[in-house]
Structure 1
Amino acid sequence: MIACHRCGRSRASVSDLEFLAWSSERVGGATRWLCHVCAKTHVRDIEGKLPDEYWR
């Protein structure tokens, strides 16, 4: 069963279109998934930690 590693949202609970925005990574031979909501939040966290010089 595919489920979000962070929030537990199941693949079955989202549409095919929403699933296209999910992100996956391989860790120690296993695949971990982030749902579209958690993936979007994670990207914003990374962008928020970038120095101001990056955005100029």
Structure 2
Amino acid sequence: MTAPVGVACARCGTARTAGEDPARALAWAADRDDGGLRWLCPDCARQHVRDIEAKLPAEYW
């Protein structure tokens, strides 16, 4: 699943743009939290990969 254009990162607010590098566009991570879908940009996803994999609540990162 690729992040839709115009989506913003839930951590830092970076927006995905239409002209973004295709490899970077595929690196966006989707996370279901409290019944909602939120997106993390590649930088935030990379920074918090251990927290995400451990299923820690976002308040702990």
| TM-score range relative to shorter protein | 0.5 to 0.7
State the identity %.
42
Give CA-to-partner distance per residue, 1:13-50, whole Å, 9 cap, x none: 7322101111001223421001001000002xx28xxx
**SS class of match (1:11):** coil
Structure 2: runs of 5+ lacking an equivalent: 1-5, 52-61
Structure 1: runs of 5+ lacking an equivalent: 48-56
Match of 2:13 among 8, 14, 19: 8
The number of residues matched between the two structures is 45
TM superposition score normalised by structure 2: 0.59
Q: 1 or 2, which has the higher helix percentage?
A: 1
